Chain A
């Protein structure tokens, strides 16, 4: 005498439980990653990095009447080479055996006190006009690798005049010798957290 009707209880209990668990999986999938989740892609962390980058460039670009700003002096005295942070100094890329080939200027002083101590990786690139103002050229001043996808970029534009003394190795050239305008440089600071 077999009675096979009551197995449905178990089956239905299991089915009901399965439905609920599947919906929970859906809920987890739908709400896991948002711009405010605590990670390096958090929008607040990126905003903080952007404000810090703009603050650094803004503090360097202050000038009193009669003087050039510190950032402008750094661009004028740059010798055109690319530098890499090796843990203690910015050494010339490819020529690090000569210890005197390091970069020390106002920019590196502030970067060393703010970004290096917080472990934020950074690149500094300069974009300027060439060929009488018809093409752009981009050169790196500081290179620490390729940025990650949550990197922040801040810009500052600097105008150079003929009356400023410029380093001979500097790749920035005069786009118009007939007027006093030498070139317009776009300083780009790229920051990202590792």
Chain B
């Protein structure tokens, strides 16, 4: 009886197939590793925050510029000033979406001028609200300055400091009478800083102009705190932010 079947070398083929299947499984595992480390790597960037910051910046700047233009004319009633302000900001908010539409983003900007309309002045704190920093440095390294200050509401004491190395001097204000006040100071060799203290109990407006000791002109001024609401929407996100804007600067 001869050999009926010979199945010796089929094991080689079988081993070849098994190793090949093992390779396929290894490849799939490798793809998973690559996918997972790509997911971690893409987590950097988030480019929408730059667009949001840009939008907040230009709408705040536009509000300040519109306020300055509206209040820069004399002999005009406040209602007319607010109308001029609204006219300019309407024009801005009509043209702004056209530029943002180039990138597939929708924007809308709106304004709240009730503080201006009802004469609610800003506090003398760092950001103008009642909860801001009460003792803060307005400007350092001043060579000469002109401070014009007008208080509408005070409880307690409010101090303006002209602090230089040799002799700090404080101006104390306790009442609303006799304001607006103007202080003109200058120095030749000893630059000073202008500091506000106890600003949270006092409200009004101020304007400080002058030169720093490097002969650079500076300007700090605040009359009201107005609010601007911006909305930015893209295909994947939507945001709605209200920011306080200090006018005129």
List 13 extra interface pairs beyond A8-B6, A12-B12, A179-B88, CB under 8 A. Answer: A8-B9, A9-B8, A12-B9, A13-B12, A20-B23, A23-B20, A23-B23, A50-B45, A58-B50, A66-B218, A129-B95, A136-B98, A181-B95
Asked if A24 is at the interface of the complex by the 8 Å CB criterion, the answer is: yes
Q: How far is the CB of B89 from chain A (nearest CB, A)?
A: 9
A35 touching B88 in the complex, CB below 8 Å, given contacts A19-B17, A66-B249, A157-B99: no
A44 vs B98: C-alpha distance when bound (angstroms): 32
Binds A, one of B54-62, B144-152, B169-177: B54-62
Contact with B along A1-44 (1 / 0, CB 8 A): 00001001100110111011011101100110011100000011
Contacts of B218 in A (CB 8 A): 64-66
Main SS of the interface on chain B?
Answer: helix
Interface residues of A in 128-184 (CB under 8 A from B): 129, 133, 136, 154-159, 161, 163, 175-176, 179-181, 184
Tell me whether B15 and A127 are in contact (CB under 8 A).
Answer: no
Across the interface, which residues of B come within 8 angstroms of A66, CB to CB? 217-219, 249
- 1/0 per position for B44-72, CB-CB distance to A under 8 A? 11010011011101100110011001000
Chain B residues, CB < 8 A from A17: 16
Given A19-B17, A43-B38: A133 in contact with B47 (beta carbons within 8 A)? no
Kindly report which residue of chain A lies nearest to residue B248, judged by CB atoms. A65
Q: How far is the CA of A54 from the CA of B54 in the complex (A)?
A: 11
Residues 23 to 82 of chain A near chain B (Cβ within 8 Å): 23-24, 26-27, 30-31, 34-36, 43-44, 47, 50-51, 54, 58, 61, 64-66
In the docked arrangement, what's the CA distance between A34 and B35, Å? 9
- For window 26-50 of chain B, which residues contact chain A by CB distance below 8 Å? 26-27, 30-31, 34, 37-38, 41-42, 44-45, 47, 50
Tell me the complex Cα distance, A180–B58, Å: 15
For the complex, give the distance between the alpha carbons of A110 and B65 in Å. 28
Q: Residue of B at shortest CB range from A30?
A: B27
Q: Is the CB of A35 within 8 A of B42?
A: yes
Task: Say if the beta carbon of B96 comes within 8 Å of chain A.
Answer: yes
Contact present for A27 and B38 (CB under 8 Å): no
Interface contact B13-A47, CB-CB below 8 Å: no
**Residues of B near any A CB (own CB < 8 A):** 6, 8-10, 12-13, 15-17, 19-20, 23-24, 26-27, 30-31, 34, 37-38, 41-42, 44-45, 47, 50-51, 53-55, 57-58, 61-62, 65-66, 69, 87-88, 91-92, 94-96, 98-100, 102-103, 217-221, 249
Contact across chains for A156 and B54 when beta carbons are under 8 A apart: yes
Inter-chain CA distance A12–B41, complex, in Å, is: 46
Q: How far is the CB of A166 from chain B (nearest CB, A)?
A: 15
Q: Cβ of A184 and Cβ of B95 under 8 Å apart?
A: yes
The interface residues of chain A lying within 8 Å CB-to-CB of B34 are: 31, 34, 36
Docked-complex contact B91 and A186, CB < 8 angstroms: no
Chain A residues closer than 8 Å to B47, beta-carbon distance: 50, 54
Given contacts A34-B38, A44-B44, whether A15 and B219 have CB atoms under 8 Å apart is no
* Between-chain CB contacts (< 8 Å), 11 pairs: A8-B6, A20-B23, A35-B41, A36-B34, A47-B45, A51-B45, A159-B62, A161-B65, A181-B91, A181-B95, A184-B99
Residue of B nearest to A9 (CB): B9
**Smallest beta-carbon distance B36→chain A, Å:** 11
With A and B bound together, what is the CA distance between A186 and B37 in angstroms? 36
Residue of A at shortest CB range from B35? A34
Question: Contact: B38 with A35, CB < 8 Å?
Answer: yes
Given known contacts A31-B30, A65-B249, A175-B95, A157 and B219 CB-to-CB distance under 8 angstroms: no
Which residues on B sit within 8 Å (CB–CB) of A35? Answer: 38, 41-42
A23 touches B15 (CB 8 A): no
Check B87–A179 contact: CB distance below 8 A.
yes
B61 and A159 form a contact (CB under 8 A)? yes
The answer to whether B16 and A31 touch across the interface, beta carbons within 8 angstroms, is no
Which residues does chain B contribute within 8 Å of A34, judged by CB atoms? 34, 38
In the A-B complex, the 7 residue pairs with the closest CB atoms: A16-B16, A66-B219, A65-B249, A27-B27, A23-B20, A23-B23, A179-B91
Distance in Å from the Cβ of A145 to the closest Cβ of chain B?
23
